């Protein structure tokens, strides 16, 4: 059974940093692109970005709203993906989900299945 | 403002057929597959339709997807109370080089 467990969320002040983790099991993690999607309370889904696997040089892509502040990494030996969030803003407050996805060449299809339970990040003073 | 446009709400009575639209452009739905997600209250999204009209195993055939030009649609037939949820469309966008979502449609079963 495929499982994803996000952790690391919490309360942080504006301008602060936080690192989220996504522990995966039940599929070939090393060969999968890992995506992050967030959802502010009562709002819709927003793609944050993705990191590809070793075969694609761990290539990363970011949404314009987080580029330059967020970064992705992964440890294939631990089947874990990470989201490092710096210079946090109040508008980054959301539940953050990780999910595996399939990429072909430069296209990463949003066939996201399954999703983790999410971890809540609250940016507030 | 979402790149993909969905109606904010839809409704139907049990047994009815309802359709949710998703309007995009040539850089997303017009040139790539459309995907649909169901999000029940308080839960994570669940993949409902992939590659325009394919259902993952376990998704009832009451759910179907279609695509025409730059728009996609999700149809739910034989509406049931447990279908009350938020529904989101998604696609890859060639211009943005990223995934885009619709703003979501809240389905109410009357």
**Residues of chain A neighbouring B55 (CB-CB closer than 8 A):** none
pLDDT of residue A106: 82
pLDDT of residue A64: 96
pLDDT of residue B77: 97
- Label residues A6-15 b or e (16+ Cβ within 10 Å = b): bebbeebeee
Check CB contact under 8 Å for A44 and B32: no
Q: How far is Cα A98 from Cα A34, in angstroms, rounded to an integer?
A: 7
pLDDT digits over B21-73, tens only?
A: 999 999 999 999 999 999 999 999 999 999 999 999 999 999 999 999 999 99
pLDDT digits over B71-107, tens only?
A: 999 999 999 999 999 999 999 999 999 999 999 999 9
Query: Where do we find the tokens 């809540």?
Result: A120
**Residues of chain A neighbouring B89 (CB-CB closer than 8 A):** none
Which one is predicted more confidently, A22 or A55?
A: A22
Q: How far is Cα A124 from Cα A13, in angstroms, rounded to an integer?
A: 5
Closest-CA distance, B47 to chain A, in angstroms, reads 6
pLDDT of residue A105: 83
Is B91 in CB contact (< 8 Å) with chain A? yes
For residue B17, pLDDT beyond 90: yes
Q: How far is Cα B45 from Cα A117, in angstroms, rounded to an integer?
A: 9
Is B97 in CB contact (< 8 Å) with chain A? yes
| Average pLDDT over every residue of A96-104 | 93
**Residues of chain A neighbouring B102 (CB-CB closer than 8 A):** 44
Radius of gyration, CA atoms only, chain B: 13
The set of residues, in sequence order, having a beta carbon less than 8 Å from that of B1 and lying 6+ positions away, is none
């Amino acid at each position: 059974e495929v499982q994803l467990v996000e952790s690391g969320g919490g309360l942080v002040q504006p301008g602060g940093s936080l690192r989220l983790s996504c522990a995966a099991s039940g599929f070939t993690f090393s060969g999968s692109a890992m995506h992050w999607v967030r959802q502010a309370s009562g709002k819709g889904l927003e793609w944050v970005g993705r990191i590809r696997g070793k075969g694609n040089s761990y290539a990363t892509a970011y949404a314009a709203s987080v580029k330059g502040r967020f970064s992705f990494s992964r440890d294939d030996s631990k089947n874990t993906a990470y989201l490092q969030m710096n210079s946090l803003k109040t508008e980054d407050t959301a539940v953050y989900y990780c999910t595996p996805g399939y990429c072909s060449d430069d296209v990463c299809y949003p066939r996201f299945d399954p999703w983790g339970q999410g971890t809540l990040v609250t940016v507030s003073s | 403002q979402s790149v993909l446009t969905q109606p904010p709400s839809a409704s139907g009575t049990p047994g009815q057929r309802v359709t949710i639209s998703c309007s995009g452009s040539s850089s997303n739905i017009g040139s790539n597959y459309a995907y649909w997600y169901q999000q029940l209250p308080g839960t994570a999204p669940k993949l409902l339709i992939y590659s325009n009209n394919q259902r993952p195993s376990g998704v009832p055939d009451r759910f179907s997807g279609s695509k025409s030009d730059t728009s996609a649609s999700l149809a739910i037939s034989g509406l049931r109370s447990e279908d009350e949820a938020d529904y989101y469309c998604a696609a890859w966008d060639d211009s943005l080089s990223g995934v885009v979502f619709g703003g979501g449609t809240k389905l109410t079963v009357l």
